[in-house]
Structure 1
């Protein structure tokens, strides 16, 4: 996994953050996430309808501790493990702690930075995540721990709470409905159109023809939308081949999600393990003829559920990527004479369309990718 394309992080405060006033903590108990302990309750504010509290980009893990009458508190401390990747190569992103004061209502706030330093690389703070491959498991967890020290010989109390981080991201431009067919209908890609990205598929054997896939050259596509494409079959010297390859059901275009996990160097001959899933298959809407031996196949492919999918990466450790794959196999009757064609083009998915992002709210649909942490995970991560 490449360490390129690093981004500059905003400064993360080294000193304790300013404690919030009580007025900043929601008081509607029916809508708040409140964990009841033996001697204290922890209020983390709105639940967003999820099993655990969730936060978006630029948010803060913010709440307050409410002591019960018989708490006999000596001190109250809040600790946050703001990101830990647990897997074959574990790493923590940020750890912070605050001593809570009675005059502040035992309130706390831990900012979630936009970027963090992970193994010397500046990286966007990754979302909560969990996946299992054949040989390993990788989890990105965010945890909060509240410790109550009590006077005398009374038993101290510790509450560990998982929280989720689901940052929103935005497409860089408005979507488009389709890819235009070249005016001269020769089949050559629109090389001078910077709004279109094209690739040439690779044949399984030498051939004088060509097949091109063209999609919008957007840097990012919103999940839940359609990506238009144009597949050009260019066989001026063998017109029958173009028709043969474009027969019904022979063109296979799919959007695939690939999650990769970096493995320890001790695993000989294997440094990355990956798991893939087909997210959508293309819908072919129209096939048009150009000049002799040239066919244009147009359609679109979905990008999964709205707000559900997005690229992210922890360099050299774990990432989620998307790509459009194309396969145009030769029919069995001519497999020895006509090549099969394959290709892929990487795409970046984001949670929201152009101009739709509100960073103050988490991308709640991403919660479907993360199971609720088990009691073992909570005790393991929140140290």
Structure 2
């Protein structure tokens, strides 16, 4: 039998006096720096946003996002350049104005009917003046106007609302932005103007990572139905009595149903569009076990997109609801006799296409999670129903994606392209 020969590993010499290499913020000769460069104007009609008048050529940069108008994200800058042609002798000045308008319309009988237009943004820069001898007529005149994240609207600070359009029977709501370039001439000579529609599509994100599931409650659910978990909100649903309430209040069932249905959601109620919103529903009827089983068969949970419009001089808003999604109940557990726990989730609309916003007292887009628990049809006059509306905040993007986006775009947030799905094309003037 041959003897196993083991070869020892080679010896390595370690010089303890050898210092660590020097590190520097500057790249060495063998290193390459990857740097984001802003989109440049090429002057190509198929590549750039180009607009023309008799004596102006306006370039708003590259057609990057594939939308029908120039688009900008949160804290974006509306940048461009204007070239003049023709005689300058009668041109007094050229100014560029960025405007935002919130337009609501209500056509119905009664007070408050009509169109209501509210300016939400107005910013102006002058790019040429005849009196300024340092500016050459033949130069390319560049401009840059910031899109603020907050604005003052009728004395109230609000987030600058995104471009938006919603049309209903007898009412509508539209948020639009436009860039206007005006060439003013002296005397009675014709002024020249160009109005360009643009899109403001700010991305929004939750301020903290949302819960992806709700912890399982303890087995003594019947003893403490309002179990409090960290970052979980639990509400007790109030029973809704039928019209024949007198007969119902004499029944012992009405007493047991006062605190019997509980709904739990992650807290805070802020979720990314397109992602599932987890929830639990607890039916606690230990004294009437058959009610838990009966109510569990008649549950409906939907997510509503609610647009609220306030009419001038009227405190009560007009409300328009649209159903976005229905819940899916995945798990059904009977903890004990008369105590049932249901778990499920509901999708927060289409990915990237939903976002909560509000201009107080004028218009608001909300998202309402509506829960309805009903008795069987033949028992409507004898048992209460349960209903609850929970307001959710919906964002366009997920938590934790901002740093990665800023790193890849050089610090400029990109537009929330999904928000453009509700917008219509408006021709420039």
Does the CA-based 8 Å contact 2:164-2:422 persist in structure 1? yes
Could you give the per-residue CA deviations for residues 310-342 of structure 1, whole angstroms, max 9, x where no partner exists? 111001000001111001111012223221111
SS of structure 2 residue aligned to 1:290: strand
Q: What is aligned with 1:317?
A: 362
SS of structure 2 residue aligned to 1:368: helix
Does the CA-based 8 Å contact 1:76-1:146 persist in structure 2? no
In 1, the alpha carbon distance for the partners of 2:353 and 2:237 equals 30
Does the CA-based 8 Å contact 2:226-2:235 persist in structure 1? no
Shift of 1:150: 6.0
* CA pair 140-66 structure 1, distance change in 2 beyond 3 A: same
1:26 aligns with 2:61: no
**Structure 1 residues 1-383: aligned runs within 5 Å:** 26-28=40-42, 29=44, 30-47=46-63, 48-68=65-85, 70=86, 72=88, 74-75=91-92, 77-87=94-104, 88-101=115-128, 102-103=135-136, 105-149=140-184, 155-187=190-222, 188-189=224-225, 191-205=227-241, 206-209=254-257, 210-247=260-297, 250-265=298-313, 271-357=316-402, 358=405, 360-373=413-426, 375=427
Could you give the per-residue CA deviations for residues 101-152 of structure 1, whole angstroms, max 9, x where no partner exists? 4556211111111111111111111111122333333221111111234689
In 2, the alpha carbon distance for the partners of 1:343 and 1:238 equals 22
Does the CA-based 8 Å contact 2:217-2:227 persist in structure 1? no
Q: TM-score, with normalisation over the residues of structure 1?
A: 0.84
In 2, the alpha carbon distance for the partners of 1:180 and 1:348 equals 22
After the TM superposition, which of the residue ranges 125-134 and 147-156 deviates more from structure 2?
Answer: 147-156
In 2, the alpha carbon distance for the partners of 1:184 and 1:76 equals 77
In 2, the alpha carbon distance for the partners of 1:189 and 1:55 equals 48
State which structure, 1 or 2, has the greater radius of gyration over its C-alpha atoms: 2
- Aligned-pair RMSD on alpha carbons? 2.4
Q: TM-score, with normalisation over the residues of structure 2?
A: 0.75
Shift of 1:38: 3.0
Shift of 1:82: 3.0
Structure 2 unaligned regions, length at least 5? 1-36, 105-114, 129-134, 242-253, 406-411
Shift of 1:84: 1.4
SS of structure 1 residue aligned to 2:365: strand
Q: What is aligned with 2:30?
A: none
SS of structure 1 residue aligned to 2:148: coil
Shift of 1:72: 4.6
After the TM superposition, which of the residue ranges 302-311 and 75-84 deviates more from structure 2?
Answer: 75-84
SS of structure 2 residue aligned to 1:146: strand
